A and B are shown apart, each in its own frame.
Chain A
Amino acid sequence: MTENGGVTPLVRLENVNKHFGALHVLKNINLTVSRGEVLVVIGPSGGGKSTLCRAINRLETIDDGKIVFDGQVLPEEGKALARLRSEVGMVFQSFNLFAHKTIRENVTLGPVKVRGVSKDAASKRAMELLERVGIAAQADKYPAQLSGGQQQRVAIARALAMDPKMILFDEPTSALDPEMVQEVLDVMIGLARDGMTMVVVTHEMGFARRAANRVVFMADGQIVEENTPDEFFTNAQTDRARDFLSKILTH
């Protein structure tokens, strides 16, 4: 099971194509994510970053090509697909906590209903995870009672509760007020340190430099450039990437 000189890939995308009507949003994407790797995806809006993320847990279907997760081609539908999704955590830009459930219920729902964990065990674990992300005191509140930064940390705890093999983050800090960005990034940096496999769509250069193994620059549905964070941010190879970086750096 070893490839790439001993590192087992967890996800492999081969010649993946995706259209929205006439719009070609993923153009022949080839990408591998190794176990324990933290991959940052960066690039201009509309470049296909979200679609790429969502294709990995099949929230979006693909037109052709192949996505292999943990040695298996993604199941098309039904129970097998639900099982795959339970192994791939997802953290959304807009948090998407279940609005009618308490924080604790948000975190226990998956383990209880998908994994068949007992309520007590799930609740105990939920409290540990909420402790870890610093929200334990709010366990019995509803999402709308929490700040954006707190909600996003709960969303991370909800993903972690499934013991996922990997977590996808789609611009997890873009909807946050500036003073709340760091508290979420800190949790993510902690996860990266603990060896979680992560694909993170973000423009947070600080996070990329501190936690990422690799940066992928995506524009117009293509992977334009791929490098280590330091190389990418200081010595981008393509005009597109340099142009993009000059724009986000001036902000």
Chain B
Amino acid sequence: MEDLIRYAPDLAAGFLENIKLSIVAAIVSLVFGTVLVAMRVSPTPVLRAAGTIYVNVVRNTPLTLVLAFSALGLSDQLGLVFSTEPRTNSFWIVALGLAAYTAAFVCEALRSGINTVPLGQAEAARAIGLTFMQSLRMIILPQAFRAVVAPLGSVMIAMVKNTTVAVAGGFAADAAANMKESFDQVGASIPIFLGIVVAFMAVTLPIGYLTGRLAQRLAVAR
């Protein structure tokens, strides 16, 4: 217990990085996942193929490799720089790597949502003169989102937990360092483990609860 109290401030500072990472990855992955699903259902074969390949490659690649690719490939090889401050730079590289990974799962959740929307909805949208993009944006996706709020919640919970992999794997910031230091010095003591578990659950349980509630409220009556 003393261990937990002694290392709490450091662990909290590290945990804050996980939260920041989660927020960025959540926003970016939702946007990118939506773009991906639009590609996957688009009438243009090239876009459809690109979306399908992306999702299948990324979804079936271990997260550590995706992160290693975004750090080594994008950053070192292609020289992609988000900030001159190394810590900020690596934060963004990891955040985008995690978002790119999570987006594949967001896309698939949304695609199963699209499958719940009756074909007649899209036909009626086209029949009043909406373009493909308009009917996707105004008719199909809003109903698809509502159908998969709960599964999207699960995707986000997995993403929040994946921030630990992201932090340990690529992002040499306080979080991993502090966690490692506490483990090294006092051994991976049970109170510290439990403390971390509780901290994560404090984030992930509300996501599950809120998305569950939201799913009921937003459900489309047919």
A and B assemble together: yes
Point out the residue from A89, A90, A100 that lies within 8 Å of B146, measured CB to CB: A100
A85: chain B residues within 8 A (beta carbon): 126-129
Instruction: Please determine whether A98 and B129 come into contact, CB atoms closer than 8 angstroms.
Output: no
Given A98-B121, A99-B222, A142-B221, also A110-B128 (CB < 8 A)? yes
B125: chain A residues within 8 A (beta carbon): 98
Point out the residue from B121, B127, B134, B138 that lies within 8 Å of A59, measured CB to CB: B127
- Closest residue of chain B to A58 (Cβ to Cβ) is B126
Instruction: Please determine whether A98 and B124 come into contact, CB atoms closer than 8 angstroms.
Output: yes
For the complex formed, measure the closest distance between the CB of A153 and the CB atoms of chain B, giving whole angstroms: 15
For the complex formed, measure the closest distance between the CB of B218 and the CB atoms of chain A, giving whole angstroms: 9
A82: chain B residues within 8 A (beta carbon): 126, 129-131
Instruction: Please determine whether B221 and A97 come into contact, CB atoms closer than 8 angstroms.
Output: no
- Most chain A beta-carbon neighbours within 10 Å: one of B118, B128, B139, B142: B128
Point out the residue from A87, A94, A99, A114 that lies within 8 Å of B221, measured CB to CB: A99
Which residues of chain B from 134 to 158 have a CB within 8 Å of any chain A CB?
Answer: 134, 138-139, 142-143, 146
Which residues of chain B from 89 to 143 have a CB within 8 Å of any chain A CB?
Answer: 118, 120-121, 123-131, 134, 138-139, 142-143
For the complex formed, measure the closest distance between the CB of B42 and the CB atoms of chain A, giving whole angstroms: 13
- Most chain B beta-carbon neighbours within 10 Å: one of A86, A110, A113, A158: A113
Cβ of B199 within 8 Å of any chain A Cβ, yes or no, is no
Instruction: Please determine whether A92 and B120 come into contact, CB atoms closer than 8 angstroms.
Output: yes
Instruction: Please determine whether B126 and A59 come into contact, CB atoms closer than 8 angstroms.
Output: yes
Instruction: Please determine whether B128 and A100 come into contact, CB atoms closer than 8 angstroms.
Output: no
Instruction: Please determine whether A99 and B121 come into contact, CB atoms closer than 8 angstroms.
Output: yes
- Most chain A beta-carbon neighbours within 10 Å: one of B120, B124, B139: B124
Which residues of chain A from 143 to 167 have a CB within 8 Å of any chain B CB?
Answer: 143-145, 155, 158-159, 162
Chain B interface category by residue count? 20 to 34
Point out the residue from B123, B128, B138, B220 that lies within 8 Å of A99, measured CB to CB: B220
Point out the residue from A59, A100, A145 that lies within 8 Å of B143, measured CB to CB: A100
With the chains together, A108 CA to B88 CA distance in Å?
A: 47
A95: chain B residues within 8 A (beta carbon): 120
Instruction: Please determine whether A83 and B129 come into contact, CB atoms closer than 8 angstroms.
Output: yes
Given A86-B129, A96-B124, A100-B143, also A109-B221 (CB < 8 A)? no
Number of residues on chain A facing chain B (CB within 8 A)? 33
For the complex formed, measure the closest distance between the CB of B149 and the CB atoms of chain A, giving whole angstroms: 13
Which residues of chain A from 67 to 118 have a CB within 8 Å of any chain B CB?
Answer: 78-79, 82-90, 92, 94-100, 109-110, 113-114
Instruction: Please determine whether A57 and B127 come into contact, CB atoms closer than 8 angstroms.
Output: yes
For the complex formed, measure the closest distance between the CB of A52 and the CB atoms of chain B, giving whole angstroms: 15
Instruction: Please determine whether A99 and B124 come into contact, CB atoms closer than 8 angstroms.
Output: no
- Closest residue of chain A to B131 (Cβ to Cβ) is A82
B118: chain A residues within 8 A (beta carbon): 94, 96
Given A142-B221, A145-B221, also A97-B126 (CB < 8 A)? no
Instruction: Please determine whether A114 and B222 come into contact, CB atoms closer than 8 angstroms.
Output: no
B130: chain A residues within 8 A (beta carbon): 82, 109-110, 113-114
B127: chain A residues within 8 A (beta carbon): 57, 59, 85, 88-90
A79: chain B residues within 8 A (beta carbon): 131
For the complex formed, measure the closest distance between the CB of A151 and the CB atoms of chain B, giving whole angstroms: 11
For the complex formed, measure the closest distance between the CB of A74 and the CB atoms of chain B, giving whole angstroms: 13
With the chains together, A85 CA to B127 CA distance in Å?
A: 5
Point out the residue from B124, B131, B134, B142 that lies within 8 Å of A97, measured CB to CB: B124
Q: Please give the residue numbers on chain A whose beta carbons come within 8 Å of chain B beta carbons, in ascending order.
A: 57, 59, 78-79, 82-90, 92, 94-100, 109-110, 113-114, 142-145, 155, 158-159, 162
20 inter-chain pairs at a CB distance below 8 angstroms, sorted by A residue, are: A82-B131, A85-B126, A86-B129, A90-B123, A90-B124, A90-B127, A94-B118, A95-B120, A96-B124, A98-B121, A99-B221, A99-B222, A100-B220, A109-B128, A113-B130, A113-B134, A144-B222, A155-B124, A158-B128, A162-B128
Closest 9 CB pairs of A and B: A86-B129, A144-B221, A96-B120, A110-B128, A96-B124, A90-B127, A114-B129, A85-B129, A82-B129
Q: Please give the residue numbers on chain B whose beta carbons come within 8 Å of chain A beta carbons, in ascending order.
A: 118, 120-121, 123-131, 134, 138-139, 142-143, 146, 220-222
User: With contacts A90-B127, A96-B123 known, what are 15 further pairs, Cβ within 8 A?
Assistant: A59-B127, A79-B131, A82-B126, A82-B131, A87-B129, A90-B123, A90-B124, A92-B120, A97-B124, A99-B121, A100-B220, A114-B130, A144-B222, A145-B221, A158-B124
